[in-house]
Structure 1
């Protein structure tokens, strides 16, 4: 697996990729019509979001690429209160192979381990919540954004220097 900065050509058919990646994580049987439309909206904005992120100075897009796109992450240093991991999508074919962990660790390194980092995750996406907790994110119990499908706010506090805590 190769990891590198995203390029325009990585996102030519991104809508199909995102559609595949978010199902079933963004879906459950009792979603309202508005919530289903929001999932369609996520798919529809994916190309614009990725291409826009590539052009920005304080935003990074990292892709995992084999013979095809396996996954991508977008991290943003320009968010109001603290840097943010905005998108993390992994193809179903590549889930469980450590790609999400590697992409997230690369994004955290780019942001800086001494920074507080936030992200929002769909409240019923138990797998994602467990994953982020393993990487040091904590569920704040707060809802973030104005989404039809609520996202919980997760925060990773800065890594402390072990030498300072030992004195």
Structure 2
């Protein structure tokens, strides 16, 4: 059963590899320039640092989706403008894509 909860530091071990796997099919397509590939690689490389930094930023929040204690996705929301929260990151593991996890994370982020 999928649970959604505020993220904790221990949720982010190996997050860079998780994000790299999650974005692989959507972000890496034939014909990308070297700059586009480098940007995709940069996104995966900063995932863990970004998640951990979010824990200490009062205007931002991170929520994680887990199945039986294992991370299956996460969302980072910027609440600087309370009337219009902004989704910074929304990542779901490849085996969980298309199963409603992103929808549930979005709902929680926008609450």
Query: Structures share a fold, TM > 0.5?
Result: yes
Larger CA Rg, structure 1 vs 2: 1
Answer 1 or 2: which has greater helix percent. 2
Match of 1:69 among 68, 71, 76: 71
Segments of 5+ residues of structure 1 without an aligned counterpart are: 110-167
* Deviating 4+ runs (over 4 angstroms): none
Residue matched to 1:93 = 95
| Corresponding residue SS for 1:75 | strand
Q: Report Cα offsets for 1:84-111 as digits up to 9, x if no partner.
A: 10000000111121110000011111xx
- Asked whether the equivalents of residues 79 and 86 of structure 2 are also in contact (C-alpha less than 8 Å), the reply is yes
The alignment of Structure 1 onto Structure 2 pairs a total of residues equal to 107
How many Å separate the matches in 2 of 1:39 and 1:45? 10
| Corresponding residue SS for 1:55 | coil
**Structure 2 residue 85 is the aligned partner of structure 1 residue 78:** no
Residue matched to 1:107 = 109
Q: What's the TM-score once normalised by structure 1's chain length?
A: 0.62
Q: Report Cα offsets for 1:98-156 as digits up to 9, x if no partner.
A: 110000011111xxxxxxxxxxxxxxxxxxxxxxxxxxxxxxxxxxxxxxxxxxxxxxx
In the TM superposition, residue 83 of structure 1 has moved relative to its aligned partner by 2.9
How many Å separate the matches in 2 of 1:92 and 1:24? 9
